[in-house]
């Protein structure tokens, strides 16, 4: 299936409102608890998405267009939000994410990428050669991976409250599929 830029944008544009509908003003039982150990809370996930807007997606698009395969992407810091979210509230993070995502999509649209631009190649520090098309598809699926994680983090808080129903609830069987 060829990736269609408009279809990708339609999904990326919805994420701030979806997070807002699910998380804003939700009790802290849901938003400030994790799945044990050093796993993430919903608050951490929103901080991680913010860091991606700042340092990952659009900077990598620019690097492909400017340098092609001759200069690898900067590695993505998956723990930056632990530092950057300190002292902020969840509504502040949701607002910040919405603003950054809107700015980034505006910048992406202004690039007026052509089908041949989408085939341009860049260099991922771990994965090797990737295309701009793959980068943009990954941006959208990365949002979906974190919806998937959010549903799991929230469900985890009720893993005992559901009693015997737990075996019928797929989200409670999910281990996160981390590689």
| C-alpha pair distances (Å), 12 with each of 18, 78, 120, 159, 160 | 10, 20, 21, 30, 34
Interacting residues with a second copy between 34 and 93 (CB under 8 A): none
| The one among 18, 32, 68, 89 contacting a second copy by CB under 8 A | 18
User: Using CB under 8 A, which of the segments 39-47, 58-66, 96-104, 166-174 binds a second copy?
Assistant: 166-174
Interacting residues with a second copy between 146 and 165 (CB under 8 A): 147-152, 154-155, 157-158, 160-165
Nearer to a second copy, 54 or 124 (CB): 124
Nearest to 14 by CA among 119, 97, 92: 97
| The one among 30, 39, 69, 120 contacting a second copy by CB under 8 A | 30
Taking the C-alpha atoms of residue 26 and residue 35, their distance in angstroms, rounded to an integer, is 17
| The one among 3, 34, 39, 55 contacting a second copy by CB under 8 A | 3
Among the residues of the chain, which ranges form H helices? 5-23, 28-31, 42-55, 57-67, 80-84, 90-110, 115-118, 132-156
Around 92, how many Cα atoms within 13 Å sit in the side-chain half-sphere? 7
Taking the C-alpha atoms of residue 81 and residue 116, their distance in angstroms, rounded to an integer, is 35
**Binding map of a second copy across residues 102-141, x = CB under 8 A, - = no contact:** ----------------------x--xx-xx-xx--xx-xx
Q: Burial, 178: exposed, middle or buried (Cβ in 10 Å; 0-12, 13-18, 19+)?
A: exposed
Site residues (vs a second copy, CB under 8 A): 1-4, 6-7, 10-11, 14, 17-18, 20-22, 26-27, 29-30, 124, 127-128, 130-131, 133-134, 137-138, 140-142, 144-145, 147-152, 154-155, 157-158, 160-165, 167-174, 176-179
């Amino acid at each position: 299936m060829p990736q269609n830029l408009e279809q990708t944008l339609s999904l990326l544009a919805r994420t701030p409102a979806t997070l807002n509908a699910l998380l804003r003003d939700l009790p802290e039982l849901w938003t400030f608890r994790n799945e044990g150990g050093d796993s993430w809370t919903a608050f951490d996930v929103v901080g991680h998405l913010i860091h991606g807007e700042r340092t990952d997606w659009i900077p990598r698009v620019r690097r492909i267009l400017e340098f092609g395969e001759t200069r690898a992407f900067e590695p993505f810091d998956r723990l930056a939000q632990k530092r950057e979210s300190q002292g902020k509230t969840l509504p502040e993070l949701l607002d910040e994410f919405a603003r950054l995502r809107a700015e980034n999509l505006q910048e992406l649209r202004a690039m007026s990428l052509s089908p041949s631009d989408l085939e341009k190649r860049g260099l991922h520090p771990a994965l090797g050669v990737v295309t701009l098309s793959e980068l943009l598809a990954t941006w959208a699926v990365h949002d979906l991976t974190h919806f998937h994680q959010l549903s799991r983090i929230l469900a985890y808080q009720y893993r005992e409250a559901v009693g015997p129903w737990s075996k019928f609830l797929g989200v409670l069987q999910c281990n996160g599929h981390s590689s």
